[in-house]
Structure 1
Amino acid sequence: MITPSLDDLIELGAVQDAQGLQGQIKVRPHSADPVALLSSKELWLSLIPRRSAAIAVSHEQASLKLYKVKQAKMHSGTVLIALDGIIDRDQAEALKGARILVSRDVFPKVESDSYYWVDLIGCKAVNLQGESLGEVIDINDNGAHGVIALGDLETKTVKQLVPFVKEAVKSVDLPNKLITLDWQADW
């Protein structure tokens, strides 16, 4: 099997700890509703640090390893995962800190009016007056709601942070990669 590029994979969480004696791992998901993580039949683990604008991680630096998922379930805000080949606590503990990545094309299908946040990255954002606010660079959850970072996607320069709430987000048009916001350019 060919190891994919990090650009082809989506990070869904990180291994927080081992769980029990049978080799299960406890994963801290990046989403409050980790449907893609729970439904994945296989996933990639990487022990490299998170990507940032300052550090470019090359394919050669990526120590990715593919695992088949035997079982995945929610447990107290984390996801417990049993991986093929990880059979005891010591093996599971060795994975602590690993990033969990999956290919975007294995995500479950969503309803027509729903989308994954990762699909918003690269969308152009405009306000109700038609002014360009930049492109979506990143989306994070601050605990209360999502926050989209707008700016220049090529340089990763953030110009604005906008709450991703219904009062601010008026429409999302994924086919045209366009988000309309009730937001001013100088806010």
Structure 2
Amino acid sequence: MSTPSLNDLIELGAISEAQGLQGQVKVRPHSSDPVALLSSKTVWLSLIPRRDAGVSVSVEQASLTQYKVKSAKMHSGNVVVALDGITDRDQALALKGARILVARDAFPKAESDSYYWVDLIGCQAINLQNEALGEVLDVTENGAHGVIAIGDAANKEIKYLVPFVKEVVQNVDLPNKAITLDWQLDWQ
């Protein structure tokens, strides 16, 4: 498999530590439900700076390394992963800090009325009055539910932090990159 574009890869977590003596790594997932990480057969590891750090990184600079996943399981809020070719604790420790990336097209199909947050980023948000609220810039979790940050993508200015709950989110149209919300322009 050839090295994919960084735009085709989604960061799912970071290696925080070695796990045991057999070369397994402990991954701190970015999601509370890391289904894509648990089901991936292939991952890419990178020690490049994060994209949101303001650093422009090309594929040549990325030095991505592909690994086949032998196993992945949840353990105490982390994902313990065994990678092909990593057979002892020293090799696993050498990967500490590496970011885990997976090709977006390798994600399992989302259930109906479920969405991968990465797919929401870039969607145009409108309210029930058909007024433009802005573009979805980010999606985070606050413990109780997801929160979508909506604003101006050109200057990365966030105008609204909107709870991603069914009472507010009326419709998600991923093919047209649009989200309809029960939200007013003057709500902050």
Cα distance change, pair 53–27 in 1 and its aligned pair in 2 (3 A): closer
How far 1:109 moved relative to its partner? 1.2
Tell me the equivalent position of 1:26: 26
Structure 1 unmatched runs, 5+: none
Tell me the equivalent position of 1:100: 100
Contact 1:53 1:156 (C-alpha < 8 Å) held by counterparts? no
What code does the residue aligned with 1:94 have?
A: A
Percent sequence identity over matched residues?
A: 76
Q: What TM-score do the two structures reach when normalised by structure 1?
A: 0.93
How far 1:167 moved relative to its partner? 2.5
2:48 counterpart of 1:51: no
What do residues 46-93 of structure 1 show as CA deviations (whole Å, max 9, x unaligned)? 111211163222222212100000000111111000000100111111
Tell me the equivalent position of 1:143: 143
Contact 1:146 1:163 (C-alpha < 8 Å) held by counterparts? yes
Cα distance change, pair 4–156 in 1 and its aligned pair in 2 (3 A): farther
> Secondary structure of the equivalent of 2:92?
helix
CA distance in 1, matches of 2:80, 2:103: 20
User: How many residues in Structure 1 have an aligned counterpart in Structure 2?
Assistant: 187
Tell me the equivalent position of 2:9: 9
Tell me the equivalent position of 1:38: 38
Contact 1:29 1:78 (C-alpha < 8 Å) held by counterparts? yes
Tell me the equivalent position of 1:156: 156
Contact 2:49 2:55 (C-alpha < 8 Å) held by counterparts? no
Tell me the equivalent position of 1:115: 115
Structure 2 unmatched runs, 5+: none
> Secondary structure of the equivalent of 1:61?
helix
2:186 counterpart of 1:186: yes
2:129 counterpart of 1:125: no
CA distance in 2, matches of 1:20, 1:184: 52
What code does the residue aligned with 1:12 have?
A: L
Contact 1:135 1:152 (C-alpha < 8 Å) held by counterparts? yes
Contact 2:125 2:134 (C-alpha < 8 Å) held by counterparts? yes
Contact 2:28 2:79 (C-alpha < 8 Å) held by counterparts? yes
How far 1:155 moved relative to its partner? 4.1
What code does the residue aligned with 1:68 have?
A: K
> Secondary structure of the equivalent of 1:86?
coil
CA distance in 1, matches of 2:44, 2:31: 17
Tell me the equivalent position of 1:79: 79
56-65 vs 99-108, greater mean Cα deviation: 56-65
> Secondary structure of the equivalent of 1:36?
helix
98-107 vs 59-68, greater mean Cα deviation: 59-68
53-62 vs 84-93, greater mean Cα deviation: 53-62
> Secondary structure of the equivalent of 2:101?
strand
Cα distance change, pair 58–154 in 1 and its aligned pair in 2 (3 A): farther
CA distance in 1, matches of 2:145, 2:50: 22
2:185 counterpart of 1:171: no
